[in-house]
């Protein structure tokens, strides 16, 4: 039945005159507006995708800039709060954006929701979800580990579930799967702008989305309906030609790119893949590439909309979104003639399987060469454990290709020589690969199917097969391989590669095996080669959704109670930080002068500390316990200038705070590389810190590690236990406290500066980096010029030495006008309340 407006307009459009042309336009507009709205997801029928608004903004900006736009620019600029007046300059200006939605994993959601509760707002302003994936430790197997996690984390899960219900946030229960897989299956779509409180949020770029990892305070801004700031990103183009085949997989694309750009190469940029080779990659394969783009420091990564994405949308029950995207395809691909800041070209037909590591994800090797390289460097050749899955590589296609290799081995009477684990990315993937027989094959070859969760990828692995400090090799299909990340053992040599190569190496049991050329020995003594892996992109019988693990927020939530016990050790309501008193910061005591690397894991470790993510005071007991003190080359051992005694960093900070002494941390280059951990900003503020003064802040998260620093930390780890009042919190897998959970959050200013600014801290850099050498561990520093604190105006530092001498140094900052207001108010959250 035609809408009334169309029936009324139809006779008019047959008239061939000027009036008719206007009527025809009205007719088309009426027809367009009469189309049913398409919901953003099946869980949110009251929402709708607005490609019209996206197109309108793109059109405005394209005319203003008078040039073709990249896809990244189209989606980002298409979400500008003010497309007419916004100053736009790649790599220079700050953009004020209106993201479409927010996603939070359970470890970071705790603090994000606590901050949102503190805002006093009744409901979130944009669709938002919480995903329980980080708190499930791999020990025995999926069923047992999930049951244990529900018991151990009941208080946190209850808080997140009730907070979600109270404030209109969807809640994915433990066992649902990894946040990024859930987003790809349900929430990502071409052209969406999504922010997530996890570093691998860019995974959604495989579905043509701009998905950016942020800190919890950024998520609160968006959930509160406040424009979100992002420094206008540069755009790196990766042109793909040829096509994937044989042993080469989508993972090899990003392993190759990481080797080219290194962990710093994507800084401040969106990586945009394009070219004829794109069509040879599945949608989930594109997601793999975007996911690990976090390791090159990119803001995010994205692919243009194509038929592979359409197929995936159709298979995941979103044919209506696919049809709508088809209608708006011109806005979901780059303009012809658009310019990139830098272009890399990769011929997929010539690309060989790669394996990267150890200790850094950008140390790239062809698989054919890794055995010889390992021998030369003294890396253990025996593969102790192969681990497939994680948010990077847990798709149906990944599992099918791995199972195809496992089946070949079983047919020859072989099982894996190495231990072998399998992590499904979601309940839907778990149920489907169980139904289709992949799980049985992988178990039969020696695999253990773990829970649908992050598990060993983030250090949630109670590993028992090697002793702490024992040199060994593992291979994973994960995204990161920093020292101690997976198992807390600094002597573990971790390599990242594709699920196919992991499976082959687990079967062979050695790095000195090239599946393209080398032979295995069957149970009957026969020599044979593995055939290249094969697997369907998507299940022929559609997906099995498995158990229903989603909790809808109720329509009426007035009666929902969010319970946070005052005696809880895991959750704590937040108190507002104090406002700036209008004066210069005088005589700040140097708490610690950090030597060398100082990542977010050094500042606020993960591992066993994950349990305290919702309790600011308790988690502050890990502040800077991994940082190297330049005074004595020790970790977590600094001198208390008030007592003359040595103590742990958090203990001395607490003593200073109790005695009214504010303090400053002095750091080296690239301070704050690592994950989205805003706790690395909250903890210093909570314990009395006011300034972080460094040579430079990390513009990425995850950089090439200094192996000598790792060795030093390994030799010093016992001193942390000896000097920490919280040593009882450290289980056998202690070192995950220091290094697990590395990431580029990959919005390029995740921790380093923005998170500090949001908590009312002053992140400052030496105008002359050599001034770092002027600071002594017992100095006091005054920050002057705050009465006229303004964007682009440097501050002064008066360094007061113990011998009575002084140095005056110039200090730079990157505050904009809004961020200066955060400082004046004491935090971004305080400023939000002032504006209500």
Bond before 358 cis per omega within 30 degrees: yes
Residues with Cβ within 8 Å of 544's Cβ and at least 6 positions away in sequence, in order, are: 428, 431, 432, 434, 435
Please work out, in degrees rounded to the nearest 5, the angle formed at the alpha carbon of residue 513 by the alpha carbons of 508 and 514. 125
| 157 CB-side CA count, 13 A | 21
435 φ/ψ angles, rounded to the nearest 5 degrees: -60, -40
Q: Which H or E element spans position 593?
A: strand 585-593
Strands 210-213 and 228-231 turn out to be: unpaired
Cβ(283)–Cβ(205) below 8 Å: no
Handedness of CA 145, 148, 153, 158 (dihedral sign): positive
740 φ/ψ angles, rounded to the nearest 5 degrees: -70, 160
Helix, coil or strand: residue 455 = helix
Cβ(134)–Cβ(106) below 8 Å: yes
Question: What is the C-alpha separation between 254 and 346, in angstroms, rounded?
Answer: 11
Cβ(296)–Cβ(268) below 8 Å: no
DSSP 67: S
Handedness of CA 517, 521, 527, 530 (dihedral sign): negative
Question: What is the C-alpha separation between 341 and 260, in angstroms, rounded?
Answer: 16
DSSP 609: G
Residues with Cβ within 8 Å of 546's Cβ and at least 6 positions away in sequence, in order, are: 427, 428, 430, 431, 432
Q: Which residues are catalytic?
A: 133-134, 198, 480, 675, 677
Nearest to 185 by CA among 724, 550, 691: 550
745, two tokens: 């959050």
Cβ(44)–Cβ(103) below 8 Å: no
Question: What is the C-alpha separation between 416 and 787, in angstroms, rounded?
Answer: 67
Encode burial over 547-586: b for 16+ CB neighbours within 10 A, e otherwise.
eebbbebeeebeeeebebeeebebbbeeeebeebeeeebe
Q: What is the DSSP string of 260-294?
A: HHTTTTTBTEEEEEESGGGGGS-HHHHHHHHHHGG
Torsion of CA 54, 59, 62, 66, to 10 degrees: 180
Instruction: Quote the strand ranges of 357-405, DSSP E.
Output: 364-366, 383-389
Bridge partners (DSSP) listed for residue 241: 347
Residues with Cβ within 8 Å of 777's Cβ and at least 6 positions away in sequence, in order, are: 590, 592, 593, 629, 630, 631, 638, 639
Instruction: Count helices and strands (H / E) in the chain.
Output: 27, 32
Bridge partners (DSSP) listed for residue 762: 691
| Rg value, the chain, Cα | 27
Question: What is the C-alpha separation between 213 and 299, in angstroms, rounded?
Answer: 8
443, two tokens: 């178990």
Please work out, in degrees rounded to the nearest 5, the angle formed at the alpha carbon of residue 677 by the alpha carbons of 675 and 680. 120
386, two tokens: 């192969």
Bridge partners (DSSP) listed for residue 101: 194
Distances from the Cα of 138 to the Cα of 135, 387, 734, angstroms: 10, 12, 16
172 φ/ψ angles, rounded to the nearest 5 degrees: -100, 115
Residues with Cβ within 8 Å of 17's Cβ and at least 6 positions away in sequence, in order, are: none
């Amino acid at each position: 039945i035609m809408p009334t407006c169309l029936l009324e307009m139809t006779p008019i459009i047959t008239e061939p005159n000027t009036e008719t042309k206007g009527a025809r336009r009205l007719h088309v507009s009426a027809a367009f507006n009469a189309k049913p709205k398409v919901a953003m997801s099946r869980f949110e029928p009251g929402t709708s995708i607005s490609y019209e608004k996206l197109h309108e903004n793109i059109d405005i900006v394209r005319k203003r800039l008078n040039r073709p736009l990249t896809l990244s620019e189209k989606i980002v600029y298409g979400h500008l709060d003010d497309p007419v007046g916004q100053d736009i300059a790649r790599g220079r200006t700050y953009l004020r954006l209106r993201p479409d939605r927010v996603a939070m994993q359970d470890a970071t959601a705790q603090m994000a929701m606590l901050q949102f509760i503190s805002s006093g707002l009744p409901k979130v302003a944009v669709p938002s979800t919480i995903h329980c994936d980080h708190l499930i430790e791999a020990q025995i197997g999926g069923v047992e580990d999930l049951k244990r996690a529900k018991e151990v984390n009941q208080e946190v899960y209850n808080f997140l579930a009730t907070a979600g219900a109270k404030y209109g946030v969807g809640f994915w229960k433990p066992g649902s799967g990894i946040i990024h897989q859930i987003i790809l299956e349900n929430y990502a779509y071409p052209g969406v702008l999504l922010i997530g409180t996890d570093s691998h949020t860019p995974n959604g770029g495989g579905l043509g989305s701009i998905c950016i990892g942020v800190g919890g305070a950024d998520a609160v801004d968006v959930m509160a309906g406040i424009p979100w700031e992002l420094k206008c990103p540069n755009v790196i183009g990766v042109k793909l030609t040829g096509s994937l085949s044989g042993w080469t997989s989508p993972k090899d694309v990003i392993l190759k790119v990481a080797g080219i750009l290194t962990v710093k190469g994507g800084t401040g940029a969106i990586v945009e893949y394009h070219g004829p080779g794109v069509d040879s990659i599945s949608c989930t394969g594109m997601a793999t590439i975007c996911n690990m783009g976090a390791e090159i420091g990119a803001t995010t990564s994205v692919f243009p909309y194509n038929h592979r994405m359409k197929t995936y949308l159709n298979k995941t029950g979103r044919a209506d979104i696919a049809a709508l995207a088809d209608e708006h395809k011109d806005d979901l691909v780059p303009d012809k003639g658009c310019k990139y800041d830098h272009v890399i070209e990769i011929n997929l037909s010539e690309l060989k399987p790669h394996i990267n590591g150890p200790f850094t994800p950008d140390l790239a090797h062809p698989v054919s060469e890794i055995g010889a390289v390992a021998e030369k460097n003294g890396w253990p050749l025996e593969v102790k454990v192969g681990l497939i899955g994680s948010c990077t590589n847990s798709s149906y296609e990944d599992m099918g290709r791995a199972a195809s290799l496992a089946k070949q081995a079983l047919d020859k009477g072989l099982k894996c020589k190495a231990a072998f684990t399998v992590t499904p990315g979601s309940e839907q993937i778990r149920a489907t690969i169980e139904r289709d027989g992949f799980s049985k094959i992988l178990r039969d070859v020696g695999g253990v199917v773990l829970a649908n969760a992050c598990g060993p990828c983030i250090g949630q692995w109670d590993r028992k097969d090697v002793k702490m400090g024992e040199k060994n090799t593992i291979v994973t299909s994960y995204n990161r391989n920093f020292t101690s990340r997976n198992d807390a053992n600094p002597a573990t040599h971790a390599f990242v590669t594709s699920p196919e190569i992991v499976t082959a190496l687990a079967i062979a049991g050695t790095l000195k095996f090239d599946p393209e050329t080398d032979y295995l020995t069957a149970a009957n003594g026969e020599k044979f080669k593995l055939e290249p892996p094969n697997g369907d992109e998507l299940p022929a019988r559609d997906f099995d959704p498995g158990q229903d693990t989603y909790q809808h927020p109720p329509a009426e939530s007035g009666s929902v109670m969010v319970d946070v016990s005052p005696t809880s050790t895991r959750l704590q309501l937040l108190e507002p930080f104090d406002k700036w008193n209008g004066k210069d910061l005088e005589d700040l005591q140097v708490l610690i002068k950090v030597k060398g690397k100082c990542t977010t894991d050094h500042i606020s470790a993960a591992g066993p500390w994950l349990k305290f993510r919702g309790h600011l005071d308790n988690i502050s007991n890990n502040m800077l316990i991994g940082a190297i003190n330049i005074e004595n080359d020790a970790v977590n051992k600094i001198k208390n200038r008030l007592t003359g005694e040595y103590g742990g960093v958090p203990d001395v900070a607490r003593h200073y705070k109790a005695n009214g002494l504010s303090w400053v941390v002095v750091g080296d280059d690239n301070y704050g590389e690592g994950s989205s951990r805003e706790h690395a900003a909250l903890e210093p503020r909570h314990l009395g810190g006011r300034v972080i003064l460094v040579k430079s802040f990390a513009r990425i998260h995850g950089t090439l590690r200094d192996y000598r620093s790792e060795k030093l930390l390994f030799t010093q780890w016992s001193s942390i236990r000896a000097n920490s009042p919280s040593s009882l919190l450290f289980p056998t897998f202690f070192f995950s406290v220091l290094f697990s959970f590395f990431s580029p959050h990959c919005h390029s200013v995740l921790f380093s500066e923005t998170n500090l600014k949001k908590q009312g801290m002053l992140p400052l850099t030496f105008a002359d980096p050599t001034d770092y050498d002027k600071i002594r561990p017992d100095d006091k520093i005054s920050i002057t010029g705050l009465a006229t604190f303004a964007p682009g105006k440097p501050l002064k530092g008066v360094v007061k030495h113990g011998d009575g001498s002084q140095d005056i140094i110039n200090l730079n900052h990157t505050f904009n006008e809004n961020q200066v207001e955060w400082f004046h108010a004491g935090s971004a959250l305080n400023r939000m309340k002032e504006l209500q």
